Amino acid sequence: MDERRCERCDFLIGMGCACPPDGSVPRARPAASPQQEWERFRADTILISSTQYAHLPGACTHVVEELVTAPRWGWIPAPPTGLWDRLSSSYPATATEGNTARQAVRRCEECQTTLS
């Protein structure tokens, strides 16, 4: 089986990745699988994938709580005010829990849209 992971959502390509190949915002999952409330992470926690994307719990359809575990993921449970907005390659966010070697240099576009 092909183990390639999507650079945007970190899911296996063809097995959970809902990102369009043209790089646009991922399509929503079908209504049959509604987003669940997250229990282990507060809404402002910054989740950091192995592809250096930052996500917010429940803000996008392609990251589910069950998959956010160390060592694949790192997270910042109480980020400083404004960290999400400053996050970039020149201002990376480093995980403080989970895999603390993870750094995010870009925000998930769907998470960003949800905040708007």
Domain total of the chain: 1
If one compares 18 and 79, the residue with the highest pLDDT of the two is 79
Per-residue pLDDT reduced to its tens digit, 64-110: 999 999 999 999 999 999 999 999 999 999 999 999 999 999 999 99
Residues spanned by the domain of 63: 46-115
Task: Return d(Cα 48, Cα 56) in angstroms, integer.
Answer: 9
Pairing assessment for the beta strands 53-55 and 46-48 based on DSSP bridges: antiparallel
* Residue at 40 is within a domain: no
* Residue at 90 is within a domain: yes
What is the average pLDDT value for the chain, to the nearest integer? 83
The mean pLDDT value for 46-71 works out to 95
* Residue at 109 is within a domain: yes
pTM across the whole model: 0.72
pLDDT value at residue 93: 97
Task: Return d(Cα 107, Cα 114) in angstroms, integer.
Answer: 12
pLDDT value at residue 11: 64
- What is the residue whose two structure tokens read 């960003």? 112
* Residue at 63 is within a domain: yes
- What is the residue whose two structure tokens read 């992470």? 41
Polymer length in residues for the chain: 116
pLDDT band at 116 (very low <50, low <70, confident <90, very high): confident
